[in-house]
Structure 1
Amino acid sequence: MRFLSKKDVPFKEVVPDGYIDIHSHLLPGIDDGVKTIYQSGYILEQFENFGFKKVITTPHIMQDIWPNSSQTITSNLKKLKDVLVPLGITKIELRASAEYMMDDLFYERIKNNDILPLHQNYILVEMSTFAPPINLNEILFEIKLAGYIPILAHPERYSFYHDDLKKYDELKASGFLFQVNLLSISGYYGEQIKSFAKKMIDQGYIDFTGTDVHNYHQLEVLEKGFEFKIAKKITSLMKNNIEFS
């Protein structure tokens, strides 16, 4: 008798037609993601093989750590796109936005409208995994004032909220949408986050998905796939990303 493995459905079989990934770190050398153009090209080639239609890659913007500007991101994107065709990567569409840490730098940029949206008026934001921003309400006010809709990256990883789901209800009510990391459901960040990610999916908190791939190792983990009993739910959620086409 064969026992079902924990990751019984390969990732490629879970990906819906025309999937659009909205969270990754594939611009080389500007954050903790890939280091070279060729690493970027390899991962994008695999994404193409998985059936992805589009990748909107999202380098970190963090004050004092990765204070990337809209210009550094767009110029880096152009360099990467220039090599994709010679590398034979022609089916996948590549765009760039950012994953904005909700810090003082972001607060200034949102007020100055120096923002690269994901698509239309959506922006991808994150908070520290140690604590939420003290001025979260002020930041949200500025986001709304500027006409953007914030998508909170990987809410399942903010362990300071895990004991109180009402905090997630409050975030939703205040205007945040939620994007789960597919790596979280694979168990990459540990069993606790995996379990909480599945709980958030089951209870209807999650709006969108993202790979959040930074490197080859994460790609390999993702490629193995997911437990059979949750695979269909993941495919269904991934279809929501058609919003970004």
Structure 2
Amino acid sequence: MIKFFQNLFGKEEVQVASLSVLGVDMHSHILPGIDDGAATVEQSLELVRGMQELGYRKLIMTPHIMSDFYRNTPEIIRMQLKVLQDAVTAEGIDMELACAAEHYLDEALLQKLEDNEELLTFGDNYLLFETSFLNEPLNLREAIFRMQSLGYKPVLAHPERYTYFYGKFNDLVSLREQGVLLQPNLNSLTGYYSPGAKMIIEKLIDAGLVDFLGSDAHSLKHIANLQKVLCSKYLVKALELPLLNSKL
């Protein structure tokens, strides 16, 4: 849904999009107490209400799994999902909740792939993963090949934020040609993270290389900035792409 705000002279001024077009967010840190997102159930509920006001009907929450910092397991994540589902029901909030994970590409993830351990996915076996923001992992393509050989569909979280792709946009194009789906963060559209991230997400949208859009919401600050995103011309353009969010 696109709304138009008009100035006093009746001329079109700003297009305001609604995230209800997406309907489903597939990247957030709203589950309580297990990573750098919401710390308590009360904070989680505030975030769920904020996402509902933005137009979302379903949240697939993706806590970090990172061997050095966040040693979450599928069992821990599912347990916290149940805690939040119960709280949402008790508060009478109409929001569907589900979980997956944001897997950090480290040796522990490679070992889990080697051992074929359970990895939390969403939708059609989509596996959300991230890497270091500064340095391209030497095992990036090895990990992607392993994911695909096990039947996973790899989804690279916030590709616009990896500085090692700056000046090497064709490397992102190459990854997508190899079957890696790309999920930029909505807040990058306002330059929230950096001018470089804003430039890359705009190039990805222009090239039609966006498969999912995610909030990556950790706090109310992120949700407040999403209100600014609604006025982005590039959001309007992105919502015209064949995004997969609404099919989840």
TM-score relative to the length of structure 1: 0.90
Q: For the residues of structure 1 that align with 2:187 and 2:113, how far apart are their CA atoms?
A: 29
User: Once the 2 structures are TM-superposed, how far is the Cα of residue 237 of structure 1 from its aligned partner?
Assistant: 4.2
Identity %: 35
* Residue segments in structure 2 that go unaligned for 5+ positions in a row: 1-6
CA distance in 2, matches of 1:99, 1:187: 22
User: Is this contact kept in 2: 1:34–1:40, CA < 8 A?
Assistant: yes
Q: Give the superposition deviation at 1:181.
A: 0.2
Q: Distance in 1 between matches of 2:139 and 2:22?
A: 38
1:152 paired with 2:156, answer: yes
Partner of 1:32: 36
Give, in whole Å, the separation in 2 of the partners of 1:106 and 1:49: 35
Root mean square deviation, CA, Å:
2.0
From 107, 112, 125, the equivalent of 1:104 is 107
Q: Deviations over 1:156-189 (max 9, x none)?
A: 0011111012211221122201001001112211
Q: How many residues end up aligned between the 2 structures?
A: 237
- Write the distance in 2 (CA, Å) between the matches of 1:18 and 1:153: 17
1:171 paired with 2:140, answer: no
Letter in 2 for 1:98: A
CA distance in structure 1 between the partners assigned to 2:173 and 2:235 by the alignment: 25
Letter of the 1:201 partner, please give it.
Answer: I
Paired residue for 2:128?
A: 124
Q: Select which of 77, 94, 99 maps to 2:97.
A: 94
Which of 196, 202, 209 is equivalent to 1:205?
209
* Letter in structure 2 aligned against 1:37: V
What TM-score results when the alignment is normalised by the length of structure 2?
A: 0.89
Indicate if the aligned counterparts of 1:16 and 1:239 stay in contact, CA closer than 8 A: no
Q: Hey, what's the Cα distance between the residues in 2 that align with 1:126 and 1:167?
A: 16
| Runs of 5+ consecutive residues of structure 1 not aligned to the other structure | none
Deviates more, 1:169-178 or 1:19-28: 169-178
Superposed displacement of residue 228, structure 1: 4.7
